[in-house]
A and B are shown apart, each in its own frame.
Chain A
Amino acid sequence: MPVIEYKCPYCGSGMSFDAATGTLSCPGCGNQEHIDQLPDPMKQQVFTEGEVKEYHCGSCGAVIMTDAETSATSCSYCGSAVVLADRLTGELAPAMVIPFSISKEEAIKAFRKWCRNGLLTPRGFMNANRIKSLTGMYVPFWLYELHNRVEVHGHATKVRTYTQGDYEYTETQHYEIYRKMRLNYTKLPLDASAKMDDELMDKLEPFPYEQLKEFKTPYLAGYLAEKYSYNDQELLPRAKEKVRSYIDAAISSAVAGYTTVNYTNKQIDTTMKKADYVLLPVWMVHYDYNKTVYTFAMNGQTGKVVGRPPLSKAKIAAWFAGISGVSFLSLKLIAWMMGGGFW
C-alpha cells in the first residue's frame, strides 16, 4: 500500500509537520519527532510506477480522492495526513525540500496585515475577513544550474562636445568592442507545476536556500504537495528565457562607459549542468470579494505575498488627485521661490 501515514508511537494519533518547531508533532499528546532522525519509510519500499490506481486511507480505509498531480494531502473523511509514496519515488523523488516556517495562523495574520497595507485596495477588502481557503502547498520546482558562455561583438561610441571659437564641435570616437564572459547561474528556480501561475511563482522569489533540507516525506505531513508536470528538459527553454535578461544585464554592465553601444553579434551558449527537483513551500490563499475569487500566494518561508488584489477606482482617483495637487503646489512654490510670482 503506497500510502504513508505518520502515527504517533505513544498515542496513535495522526502526526503532521509543525512549521514553528520544524518537527513532526502529535496534536494528541504533544510528542515531537525530529525529522532528521526518522528513517524515511520510502527508502524501504519499492513501488512500480502505475501499479496503484486507487489509494486508501490507512486510518479509516476510505478512498483518498486526489488529482493526478497530488503527492500529499489529507483524507477527506478522517483528516489524517497522507503521503502518496509512489508519486515521490524514482524519477519523481525530490532531492530537497524547504519546509514551511510560517504556520497557518501566522500565514493568516501575515495575509491580513498585507491586505491592510494595500494603498489602492477597497475598504471592504482590507478587512480580510473573507478568506475562503488557505492551503499550505509544496510546489514542485526545478533548480537549474546553467553555465553560459557569452561572446559579444559590437560597435560603441563615446561622444564629446565642446565649443571653440564660433563653432560647437561634436567629437565621436568609434570603438570595436568584444567581450567574452562566463556567467554561471545556480539554483535558478522554475515552477514545474502546470496548475501554478508562472508569473505569480516568479514573484515569490527569492526562497531562502540555506533552509534547503534533504527530502524526507514527514515534511509533507499535513500539507498538500504536487508532483511536477514538466520535467527538467521540458522547462529548459523557459529557464533559458529567464536567464536571458540576467545575461543581457551582465553584458551591459561589462561595457560601461560608452555613450552608445550596438551589438552586432551576441552568442550565448548555455549548457545545463544539473537540475534538482525540489519542493518549495507556498501558502495559497483564496479570497472572496464582490462575488469574485482572488488568488494569492505567500512564500512559506519569507511571508512575501503576491497576487493581484482588487483595486478601488475611488482610491486610485483620490491618490491621483492628491499627488497631482501636492505636486502642483510644490511646482508653484518652486516657481515662486525662483521669483515667478505665485499666481
Chain B
Amino acid sequence: MMLAVFLMMPLRTTAAAAEAKPLIFDDAGLLSAQEYEELSALAREYGAERETDFIIITTDNPDNVDIEILIEDFYDAYAPGYDRPHGNAVILGLDMRNRDVELQGYYKAEEYLDRNRLDKIRRKITGDLSDGEYKKAFEAYIISAHEYMGYEPGFNPDNPLFNIWVQLGGAVLIGGLAVGLMTYRAGGRVTVNRRTYEDASTSGIIDQEDRYIRTTTTRREIPKNDGGSSGGGVTSGGHSHSSSRGKF
C-alpha cells in the first residue's frame, strides 16, 4: 500500500526533469513550477559536490503513516543515491497532515549529517516551514546540508573557528597585540613589583574579617528543546540512517 503512494509521486516530476533523476517529490504541491525548477537545479549542483542526493518529499499523507516510516519506505522503494541505488542520500520529509518534519541521512550522509547536524538544519528551517515559506526553507536545507557535509564528522560545524573571518580577525588581533607589546617594550620596561621594596618581615595583614551577610539566588529557565527528537533507525530494507524529527 505504501509502495503505491510513492509510485504515484514521481509521476508529477518525470516530465520536468527528464534529463536527470528527480530529487524533489512535491506530492503536497507546495512549490510552483519555477520554484521547483530552481530548487532542483540547486539540489543537483550541491549534491554533486558532496556526492549525495539532496531529496525533498512532501505529502498530504492520506493514509496517515508516520513520517519516519514514510521516508524509510520511500528510500527502500525508490532507491535514491548519488553513487548507486540505495546510496548516499539525505531526505527532508514534510507530513502536511500531522505537520511533522523529519530529516534522514543515509550512508555518507548518515556519517556526515549525524543527529546533531540534522537537528541544526531542522532548527534553521522550522521557522520558515511554520510560516509557509517552503521555498526558502528548502533552499536553506540544501545549503546547510551542503555546508555541513564539508566538515569532518563528529565536529560542531558551527564552531566559530571554522569561519574564515574569525580566523582572519584572530590572526590580525594576535599580530597587532604582539607588535604593540614589542613597541611598548622597546623603550625598556619596569622590572620592579610590589615585593621589590616591601619589607617582608614587618609587612602583612594585622587584622581581617570576612563577614557573611546573605545569599541571593536568581534562576533562569533553561530554554527547552523544541520537542523534537533525533537519533537513527533502520529501514525495513535494512538501510541504516540518522534522523531528526520535529513539528512545524
Residues of A within 8 A of B (CB): 118-121, 156, 163, 166-188, 202-203, 205-206, 243, 245-247, 249-250, 254, 304-309, 311, 316, 319-325, 327-328, 331-332, 334-335, 338-341
Contact = CB atoms under 8 A, between A and B. Distances in A.
B221 A178 contact: no
Interface string B190-222: 111110111100111111111111111111111
Contacts of B217: 169-172
Contact of B221 (A166, A170, A328): A166
A182 B211 contact: no
B37 to A, nearest CB: 30
B72 to A, nearest CB: 29
Given A180-B208, A321-B175, A167 B220 contact: yes
Interface string B126-146: 000000000000000000000
B152 interface: yes
Given A173-B212, A175-B210, A319-B178, A311 B183 contact: yes
B180 to A, nearest CB: 9
Contact of B198 (A163, A183, A308, A334): A183
B179 interface: yes
B167 A309 contact: no
A254 B182 contact: no
B154 interface: yes
B197 A338 contact: no
Interface in B98-134: none
B162 interface: yes
Given A323-B179, A334-B161, A340-B151, 19 more contacts: A120-B182, A169-B218, A172-B218, A174-B212, A174-B215, A177-B210, A178-B210, A180-B207, A181-B206, A182-B202, A183-B198, A243-B197, A246-B194, A308-B186, A322-B175, A324-B171, A335-B162, A338-B159, A339-B155
Contacts of A168: 219-222
Contacts, number: 188
A244 B211 CA distance: 27
Contacts of A247: 194
Given A174-B216, A175-B210, A205-B191, A180 B197 contact: no
Contacts of A186: 197, 199
A331 B182 contact: no
The 9 A-B pairs of least Cβ separation, nearest first, read A339-B152, A324-B175, A306-B188, A328-B171, A246-B194, A340-B162, A180-B207, A339-B155, A327-B171
B17 interface: no
B246 interface: no
B153 interface: yes
Interface of B: 150-155, 159, 161-162, 167-168, 170-172, 174-176, 178-179, 182-183, 186-194, 196-199, 202-222, 224
Contacts of B224: 166
Given A167-B220, A181-B205, A184-B198, A311 B186 contact: yes
A290 B47 CA distance: 64
Contacts of B162: 335, 338, 340-341
A183 to B, nearest CB: 5
A234 B162 CA distance: 60
Contact of B178 (A181, A182, A304, A323): A323
Contacts of B179: 316, 319-320, 323
A331 B163 CA distance: 10
A327 B174 contact: yes
Given A170-B217, A184-B203, A205 B175 contact: no
A176 B213 contact: yes
B204 A182 contact: yes
Contact of B151 (A309, A319, A341): A341
A185 to B, nearest CB: 4
Nearest to A165: B222
A202 B190 contact: yes
A162 to B, nearest CB: 10
Given A184-B202, A331-B161, A339-B153, A205 B196 contact: yes
Given A120-B182, A309-B187, A341-B150, A331 B222 contact: no
B211 A176 contact: yes
Contacts of A254: 205, 208
Contact of B189 (A118, A121, A203, A316): A203
B150 A187 contact: no
Given A180-B207, A186-B197, A323 B174 contact: yes
